[in-house]
Chain A
Amino acid sequence: MFDTPHSAIDERLSDTKIAAKKVQVFYGDTHAIKDVDINIQPRSVTAFIGPSGCGKSTFLRCLNRMNDTIDICRVEGEITIDGEDIYDPKVDPVQLRAKVGMVFQKPNPFPKSIYDNIAYGPRIHGLAKNKAELDEIVSSSLQKAGLWNEAKDRLDEPGTGLSGGQQQRLCIARAIAVNPEVILMDEPCSALDPIATAKVEELIDELRTNYTIVIVTHSMQQAARVSQRTAFFHLGILVEEGLTQDIFTNPQDKRTQDYITGRFG
């Protein structure tokens, strides 16, 4: 990230994929997210950082309506993807989540074969007309996730038999299989060793040419390595958002400064 001139990044990131305006989230009486405004640019990686409980994961989950599944959770404000309000009653959350895929902290492959893990989404969304097309989706998804060489000879084996890092890349392949435009990642490497982490980071870097990626991470070094823009959350507020290189070398807000330098948290 540091080798890219500001002007080039600014130009590349001039348009908006996801726009959030005055977003509030309540869990019962708790006001978890307050007045968050942010524009997320297409085909780039945006990192959300902040101390535990700052609301970064909660806000991430608003972007594909994962919070709908929690009864006491209420979301206000407006979130649009390509200008369309994702909270419009006409929007089908299942379709939305195909378009906005998600990868979780702990790899969570289905208790099925590697093949079926990938084929599951395309099947329920009717993306393949026949077996040959489905095979093609499975192989291309595994290739994009950098898992093809390791998995091609064991597609019938259970996904849960893979190593942690491989499972996480399987989950990324599974998200890719349904042609998403956005991929949300909630601490995708926190359960992985440094080598597996490096592979996932390399993958994120490749994927950003085709997808809009939003990643929540507790590792500031990881945010600095993989993202083009970084947003810092604290106590439910979006404190500061900007080019990653600026956030980590010269943040404007004292709270950001204190957090990234290890002065509170």
Chain B
Amino acid sequence: MAEHTVKAYDDELTALAGRIAEMGGLAESTVNDAVAALMTQDLELARRTIEQDGRLDELLQEIEMRIIELIARRQPMGKDLREVVSAGRIANDLERVGDLAKNVAKRVIAIDSGLTSKKLAIGVEHITELALNQMKRVLDAYTRQDAKAAAEVRENDAEVDAIYTSLFRELLTYMMEDPRNITQCAHLLFCAKNIERIGDHATNIAENVYYMVTGERLEEERPKVDETGVVSN
């Protein structure tokens, strides 16, 4: 798009998008670190991951201030307005992703006796790969302003949900096999749920990117399947 007559306005929008990209990268690495800490039982890494989440909270606050100031100063219209409003929503989602990763990291510390078998956690590692891939693709779609790619990310969330459902069953099986597995499997189940929620946030971001680029809402409601038999929101 052409430049604004007022150059500083362009700079402010570019800086805002840059902050979102930074927050996105940080959210991705927080998730990555949290699950790496889980797989390797690295308590030190888990603690650092918890601290890292604080940086995401700071970034969210900074982005919110930028947005408020930008609205007050420029009264954005059209695509600019959509961009600014979407940036705020996306930043919120990324901050939540950080919270969920932090919760995974806390559970690494809570499973103090360590995992009796790495096999139990492999499913969590798998769902994390999928969710992180969703995150990466949606952040790329944001940077490239690619509505089509954003719509695809939303479609693909069904895959994350399906993996979560099968992981739920798998962990139940381990718990039934040996009651000594129950504590760690319960923690792993929460970890899996957190990761599944991260996928949902990637979907939210995808919907915002689509709206930002096109001015239209992604229409039909996605079928929401939860076959675990427990209520998911």
Contacts and interface: CB of A to CB of B under 8 A. Distances in A.
Interface of A: 220-221, 224, 248-251, 256-258, 260-265
A263 B77 contact: no
A260 B5 contact: no
A264 B4 CA distance: 7
A248 B5 contact: no
A165 B6 CA distance: 31
B75 A250 contact: no
A198 to B, nearest CB: 16
B55 interface: no
B1 interface: yes
Contacts of B80: 261
Contacts, number: 44
B81 A263 contact: no
B73 to A, nearest CB: 12
A248 B4 contact: no
A264 B76 CA distance: 14
Contact of B78 (A251, A264, A265): A251
How many of chain B's residues touch chain A, expressed as a range? 10 to 19
Given A249-B215, A250-B216, A265 B77 contact: no
A224 to B, nearest CB: 8
Contacts of A248: 77-78, 81
Nearest to B216: A250
A261 B82 contact: no
Interface in B47-89: 74-82
Interface string B210-225: 0000011000000000
A248 to B, nearest CB: 5
Nearest to A250: B215
